[in-house]
Every structure is written in C-alpha cells, then in structure tokens.
Amino acid sequence: MDKLKWWHNAVIYEIYPRSFKDSNGDGIGDLRGIISKLDYLKTLGINALWLCPVYTSPNIDGGYDVADYYNICDEIGFLEDMEELIEEAHKRQIRIIMELVANHTSDQHYWFKDAIKSKDSKYRDFYIWRKGKKDGGLPNNWMSSKTGKSVWSNKGNTDEYYLHLYTEKQPDLNWENKEVRYEIYNIMKYWFDKGVDGFRMDVINKIAKASGLPDVPDEVPYHYGEMYFENYPHVHKYLNEMYYEVLIKYPDKVAMGQTSGVSPEQALSYTDESRNELNLFLQFEHMNIDCGDEGRKLEFNPNEFKNSIIKWQTALDSRLWNTIFFGSHDSPRMVSHYGNDKEYHEKSAKMLATIQLLLRGTQIIYMGDELGMTNVNYSNIDDYVDNRSISTYENRVNKQHEDEKTVFEDIRALARDNARYPMQWNDNKFAGFSSVNPWMKVSDNYNIINVSKQETDKDSILSYYKELIRIRNSELTIGIGIFEEIFEEDKDLFAYKRVHKNIEITVVANMSIDEKEVNTKNFGKCIISNYDDECGKLRSYQVNVYKKVLN
C-alpha cells in the first residue's frame, strides 16, 4: 500500500435497509429510519455505512434485482431522503457506500421489458440470448449453484432463452456490449456526483462469461457453471475500462468488489494498485466453511475457520489488503455461526468481535451483530421469505423427497433470513423496529437482546464493541501492524500478535468451552477482556488483549 486511503482502516457498518428501522409505520425499514439512527451509529464509532440495495425493485431478491438504478424503491423512500441521508451522514463524518448490482437487472427493468418482446428490440443485446439445442435441449448445461436450477429461461415472444445466473427474474447483462458498460458507468457517476462515497459491487467477478458459453464437463458436480463465468479472464478488461472511465476521476471513492471464490493471487489481480481495477475485495472462504451444496449444513470446525482467516492475513505481501467480516446479509448470524448462542452468548459474541476487529484490514460489522443478534428461530417454513430458503426447500423436499426435518434444520442454520429479520431496538412490540407487524417476523428474543437494554449496561456486547472500535481507532498498530500467529499448535486457541514499531498488541482467544492453560506473562498489560479478572487460565470463550511497549 503506497498510501493509506480512508477505506483501509474504515470500520464499515452494513445495513439491510428493509430491516433496520421503519419510520412511517408500514412495516418496512426505510431511509428516514436510517437517518433517525445516525447518532446511534456515530456513538458506535463506525465511519462508513454500506447500504444493501435501495433502488426501485420488485424485491424478488432483496433488492438485488434493480428495476431503476436512478431511483429509490417506493417502500424505502424518496430520492430526497437519500440526498438527506448522504448529507446527514457526512455531517457526522460517516461515508456512504451503495450497491452496484451490475451483473444483472430485474426483469422489470425497462431494458429487459423491451428486450424480451422481440429480437429487434433496441435493448435485445443488453442481455444474453441463445437458441435451444437442435434436439430441443437448453442452450447449455449450466446449473445455478444459487437456485439449483438451469440458468436458462425462455419467456416472451421468441424461441430464444435468456441467461440468468440467479433467479429467472434477474437476467444477466451482456457486458460484451459496450452500450451496457457505459450505461453502468453513467449510473456510477450519477451517484458519485450525489456524494456517495463508493460502491460495493455485487458479484462483480461474474460479469465476464466464456465466449461461446460451452457446456461444463460432466464431471463438474451438479453442472454448476462457475468455471465459465467466475473470475473469467476478461473480467479484468472490463474493470480496467471502468477504472479509466469512472474511478480515476473520483480518486476518493471506494470500489469494493464482491469476489467469491478467489484465491489470494486472484484477489491481488483485482486490487493491486498497479492494476487499476478495484480497491477492495470481499472473499467468503471462512463464511462458507460449513456450507455444502444445495444448502446443506456441514459441521463447523473452529480450526478450519481459524486457518482460513490466518491464510488470508498472511497471504502475499503488503500489496494485498484484506476486508474482514464475520457476518453479512447473506449469512447466518456470526454468534450462532461461529460461537455459542446459548449459555455463552455474551462471552462468545465478545470473543468473536475481538478476533475480528483486531485483524488487519478494512472492517465490516453487519447490523445487529454489535448486539449479538442470533439466528432466528422460526418454527415454520412459511415464516422464511428469502428466495434461497424457499428454493432449497422446494428442490430438496418437494423434488428430491429428502427428509423434511433435516432440510428444515439446514435452513434454520444457514438461511439468509437469519440476517434479515428486523433489527432489535427495544422491548416494545415488534422490537421497536416498527409500530406494525413487520414485513418479516421478529425474533422471539428481542426483549432480551436489544439496543435500549445494552446501551445502558456497561458490560453489554454493545458497550464492548464501542470499546473495541475505540481501541482500534486509537492504535495505529491495529491498523497497520504486521500480523503474526501464535500458539498455532493449539486448535482451540485463536491467538495472534500485531506489531508496529515498538508497540505489540496480542490477542489470545479461546474458541472452545474447555478451559485452557496459557502463558501470557510476557504480553504486557491486559487492555480488554470479556472476563473481569485474569486467572492465569482462559475460561470458556475467554479472550484477552494485551499491549506491550517494546524496548
């Protein structure tokens, strides 16, 4: 890193707008709700917000199906509200990152509505169309790893199918078409000119598809097509063009790419400064550690989790900057996923927060994780609303006749609904999120886990997050210090040092219930811990952080 930019040591807070705060009593979170909570976010200590999509959308996929990139979804607010949010956030030194969903649009976008009508449509070539095979089969054998179905649909008036890597209501844009690319660049400029500070670029590493769209070999499990569209080489050509057309003109705006399935070398190929493509990447290795095909929950192994994090902390050289997150709108709740959301709820939530926030890289906290919000325990499949939960159920129970109970348990553990149910503000009816029954059912633990309760408790998870963020923001060593793993031989311990000049910060975390003997004598003074006293041992899920001035 030649020069650090604001995003390198930012603590970003991710908001799923529909579920954060409803300001007008229609049961749906909105921009005015976010504005009303800016002071809360400021006290937390974060310095940027990443908003999941707020654009006009039929919401088949939580807004990741955009029908108008220049306007705000009716339910979420007006353009004026967005302008006010940008202004009010900036007054508080909080930057705003929006979503750029550029791999696909909604089928309700006017480009697609026109394109589907006829082969002569002006917008036909904005999307990817193919005839079926001679024998009447689909254009190729690609299956979507997200929906479990073919990536081809033919609706509309012609004999051609269109490609969609996600649901059939999210047709993929044809990035080979220059007009499409420049439309996207214009959208970016429009929001940058409104004061937006950057984009999180949705599945940006999938915009380039192999020419000819060949069948995947039969040995590829489930015929998932990733080998022909994920990190496909000419993606770099497009991103480089985007850089020269847009990003170079806005040097203080961040381009954060969602790049699932990357290796450290590939991550560097997107973000190395000399490449002139993106600034940050998001990788999901640790998030997918217990996710099998077709939504199957695998056993969570803390050691694999630790090794994955450490691999990325130590990968490559100073040119590669990490982005660190343990939760997101696409995953289970971090305390339920990696910790213990029962007897050790508070301890393990604090332990995970400490491991996360002291690592090297740009930090992202998913809304509600600062309270230790847990996976939701809906008891009925009908309570789940996410399209992926529903298709997992359909594919495995209805089509493959798998045991209903097993499938339901998998959905409970891994559903994206776990991250998307309403934020818990207080113990009023509907969790203080709304005055009416919200669009998604509230969780049954909001009277125990909520902002209002934790705000006044100095030992709460929320107070602990504030202290951690304060420490992070005040210790340069946590920002830029080198990373070194310690106690690597103990599979239950996640321990590391951060060192810069003469300051050494040491984190020692016990990821298990069992007590651990550890010698911490030489680590200096304990500056934060999730237990009150130090007793020479690490108890269940205990974490201690030490600071030492080296001579």
User: How many beta carbons lie within 10 A of that of residue 79, not counting itself?
Assistant: 12
Tell me how far apart the alpha carbons of residues 510 and 513 are, in angstroms, rounded to a whole number.
Answer: 8
The sign one gets for the Cα dihedral 324, 409, 300, 374 is: positive
Q: H-helix or E-strand containing 191?
A: helix 178-193
386 binds ligand GLC (CB under 6 A): no
Least CB distance to ligand GLC at residue 284 (A): 9
- In the window 293-352, what residues touch ligand GLC (CB under 6 A)? 329-330
Measured CA to CA, the distance from residue 27 to residue 190 in angstroms comes to 30
Binds 20, which of Ca ion, ligand GLC, none (CB < 5 to 8 A, cut-off by type)?
Answer: none
CA 1, CA 287: separation in Å to the nearest integer? Answer: 26
Residue 174 in tokens: 């044809």
Q: Count the Cβ atoms, other than its own, within 10 Å of residue 401.
A: 8
* Stretch touching ligand GLC by CB under 6 A, among 61-69, 359-367, 439-447, 521-529: 61-69
Select the span of 12-20, 57-65, 84-92, 118-126 touching ligand GLC (CB under 6 A).
Answer: 57-65
Alpha helix ranges (H) inside 51-107? 79-91
x/- map, 7-26, Ca ion, by CB under 5 A: ---------------x-x-x
Q: Which is nearer to ligand GLC, 55 or 541 (CB)?
A: 55
The minimum distance between CB 22 and Ca ion, in angstroms, equals: 4
Q: Select from 61, 75, 277, 475 the one that contacts ligand GLC (CB under 6 A).
A: 61
Q: How many CB atoms lie within 10 A of CB 21?
A: 23
| Separation of alpha carbons 467 and 362, rounded Å | 18
Nearer to ligand GLC, 166 or 483 (CB): 166
- d(C-alpha 416, C-alpha 501), whole Å: 42
Write the CB contacts of 213 (distance below 8 Å, at least 6 apart in sequence): 128, 130, 139, 140, 142, 163, 228
Q: Which residue is nearest to ligand GLC (CB)?
A: 64
Instruction: Give the nearest distance from C-beta 29 to ligand GLC in angstroms.
Output: 16
Q: What are phi and psi of 20, to 5 degrees?
A: -90, -55
Tell me which of 30, 65, 202, 417 binds Ca ion, using CB under 5 A.
Answer: 30
Total interface residues for Ca ion by CB under 5 A: 5
What is the per-residue binding string for ligand GLC in 192-221, x denoting contact by CB under 6 A? ----------xx------------------
**Total residues contacting ligand GLC (rule CB under 6 A)?**
10
| Binding-site ranges for ligand GLC (CB under 6 A) | 61-62, 64, 101, 166, 202-203, 258, 329-330
| Binding-site ranges for Ca ion (CB under 5 A) | 22, 24, 26, 28, 30
